[in-house]
Chains A and B, each alone.
Chain A
């Protein structure tokens, strides 16, 4: 019973890994607890999005991930 957390872009460096399995179900509070303070601070930023099952959540704090779901943490996209 697990959820796959995916760290995209610069969050990958901050996490020190590309992905991690965590216990399901996973909600916003559970996610914040799982990722540690550095990533949690990033997730609080409005420009950081969360996708669950390949869809960007309109309200990331309403996250409910079930067994087998993929949760992607999406920092702001690069310009340039």
Chain B
């Protein structure tokens, strides 16, 4: 069962994408459009695994706030925001975002907005295991730029 209008979760194990999207669709019968984004661990050179750590008191409440903001800003019927924590292998799902709205533009933009904010404004720390051991992933300028575009006038 999904919570409505917002279903926000941290998951320690893999997610069933098809079931989640079917449930989200069923929970928002009135929506004119549903958009979804699935983020996966990139198979990248010698990367063997990706580990995401979080901080319990901040991470989930922060994600809930992002979802609530997106709902207001884009007049959503609802949103699903699921994020993995723990160790993942290349090709595995890290994040699933789905948005439902009366009109498609809002659903597209809200999914984009949510992803940019999850990437650079949510409390996650990532490290990847390569052949020579674990490496922390630094903040990237590109992510900050992605976030900034939502603050310029009317985007």
Q: List A residues at the B interface (Cβ < 8 Å).
A: 6, 8-10, 13, 47, 51, 54-56, 70, 72, 74-80
Contact = CB atoms under 8 A, between A and B. Distances in A.
A22 B69 CA distance: 38
Nearest to B147: A79
Given A9-B136, A10-B136, A47-B139, A78 B124 contact: yes
Nearest to B94: A80
Interface stretch (B2-10, B20-28, B115-123): B115-123
Contacts of A55: 57
B125 A79 contact: no
A77 B55 contact: no
7 contacts: A10-B127, A77-B121, A78-B138, A79-B120, A79-B138, A80-B140, A80-B143
Given A77-B123, A77-B125, A51 B136 contact: no
Interface string B101-141: 00000000000000000011111111100000000111110
Interface of B: 53, 55, 57-58, 119-127, 136-140, 142-144
Contacts of A78: 124-127, 136-139
Contact of A74 (B123, B126, B143): B123
Main secondary structure of the interface of B (DSSP, over half): mixed
A9 B55 CA distance: 9
A54 B57 contact: yes
A74 B138 CA distance: 13
Nearest to A56: B58
A72 B54 CA distance: 11
Contacts of B127: 10, 78
A8 B137 contact: no
